[in-house]
Amino acid sequence: MLTEKELELVRQEGLKVDNLLCFALYAASRTAVDAYRPLLGKIGITYPQYLVMLLLWEQEPRTIKEIGTALYLDSGTLSPLLKRLEKKGLINRQRDSQDERLVNISLTGEGHALKEQVRDLPETLFCQIGWPLEDFGSLVKRLHDLTGRIYAAQTGG
Amino acid sequence: MLTEKELELVRQEGLKVDNLLCFALYAASRTAVDAYRPLLGKIGITYPQYLVMLLLWEQEPRTIKEIGTALYLDSGTLSPLLKRLEKKGLINRQRDSQDERLVNISLTGEGHALKEQVRDLPETLFCQIGWPLEDFGSLVKRLHDLTGRIYAAQTGG
DNA sequence: TGATATTGTATTGTACACAATATATTTAGT
DNA sequence: ACTAAATATATTGTGTACAATACAATATCA
């Protein structure tokens, strides 16, 4: 897969933080979430909570499992997070009557209404950062590709 | 900075999870850390702890502040993390005699020795994922560029 | 149908991550 | 030297993340 020369390069450089793809992702991710924090703080939710709301604004109800699959999060993370969203009055948690293992998550009126308050949030951030639009799309594509590759490599796919 | 047409696109698509650059980063970052977990688990450390060790293998001692700057982490995260590394016997924490506000972090013999055990970790992961080497370098560069941009936009730079 | 495997959520425990605050120390300015 | 500002670490509290486990419900197959 790699030539001996390329492998040598990986061995030499692979133990320096700045060369690590994983660290670059790790730092970029936290910095990006930092940019959302003050804006989301105004409406009282966190970034992971915002991701859940985005999913529900697109389509509802959804089960916890479906939300977890879409966001790559497990129930140990989502269970308490969804309870906090319920406490804020933004969502309803209701056990499915057909299959009682499932918990259906739906929006309250207040949850629907919140969408208006974040309508121009992506635009605001986009302009703040000043990242070229073409770059933007291609980077997102490469990241999703990478995520898929790593995920597949893990599960032996 | 953006044309009206481009802004319209951002408004339309910006509220869908899959289009968000931030979510792509968030998911990629967590998935990449997942790939490290089983390998680092064998030697008993976590990914953020591994990043600290990488820095110290490059140069030591370093203050908590220096480590935090390099990794974009604050003392609230690093203080307990470093105490855990100390408890594992990998590092020493010693207050600076010149400036007693500083805590110098250095490696123990065991900490130095650990480097050998992770020598081929980057190579292992690299081959697991099968990501083209050219892509690798350019993606890391773009991510660091992005992190810098967001960081600068926040601090008003 | 009855045992078994699978699936989905909840719970517990450990480890980040960061805001807010407290405290101590050095540095600057007069 | 004295005071005020700035710097650095520690602590507390909230909110993720995830492994491990438990438990309940459905699906499957002999």
Q: Does A131 contact B151 at a Cβ distance shorter than 8 Å?
A: no
Amino acid, single-letter form, for residue B155: T
Q: Does A120 contact B11 at a Cβ distance shorter than 8 Å?
A: yes
Q: Are A42 and A52 in contact (CB under 8 A)?
A: no
Q: Quick one: average pLDDT of A54-67? A: 94
Block means of pLDDT (10 residues each) for chain B, length 157 residues?
Answer: 70 72 94 93 95 94 94 94 95 89 93 94 84 80 90 69
pLDDT of residue A58: 94
| Nearest-CA residue relative to C1' of D27 | A99
Give, as ranges, the nucleotides of chain C with any atom within 7 Å of a protein CB: 7-13, 15-20, 24-27
Q: Does B129 contact A121 at a Cβ distance shorter than 8 Å?
A: no
Residue of B24, B122, B130 lying closest to A140 (CB–CB): B24
pTM: 0.91
Q: Are A137 and A143 in contact (CB under 8 A)?
A: no
| Whole-number Å distance between alpha carbons of B78 and B72 | 10
Q: Are A20 and B122 in contact (CB under 8 A)?
A: yes
Q: Are A24 and B143 in contact (CB under 8 A)?
A: yes
Helix (H), strand (E) at residue A62:
strand A62-63
Q: Is the peptide bond before A48 cis (omega within 30 degrees of 0)?
A: no
pLDDT of residue A157: 43
Burial B14-33 (b: 16+ CB within 10 A, else e): bbebebbbbbbbbbbbbbbb
The sign of the dihedral angle between the CA atoms of B85, A47, A68, B28 is negative
Residue of B nearest to A19 (CA): B140
Could you tell me if B116 lies within 8 Å of chain A, comparing CB atoms? no
pLDDT of residue B49: 96
Q: Does A17 contact B120 at a Cβ distance shorter than 8 Å?
A: no
pLDDT of residue B155: 65
Q: Does A35 contact B71 at a Cβ distance shorter than 8 Å?
A: no
- Summarised one tens digit per residue, pLDDT across range A102-156 is 999 999 999 999 999 998 898 888 888 877 766 788 899 999 999 988 888 876 5
Range list of H helices, B43-63: 47-58
Could you tell me if B113 lies within 8 Å of chain A, comparing CB atoms? no
- Summarised one tens digit per residue, pLDDT across range A7-55 is 777 777 777 777 789 999 999 999 999 999 999 999 999 999 999 999 9
pLDDT of residue A133: 67
Residues touching nucleic chain D (CB < 7 Å) = A 46-49, 72-77, 80-81, 84, 98-101; B 26, 30, 33-34, 37, 63-65, 68, 75-76, 79-80, 82, 93, 99, 101-103
Nearest CA to CA, how far is A109 from chain B (Å)?
A: 19
Confidence check: pLDDT of A80 > 90: yes
Name residues 14-43 of chain A within 8 A of B (Cβ): 14-36
pLDDT of residue B157: 43
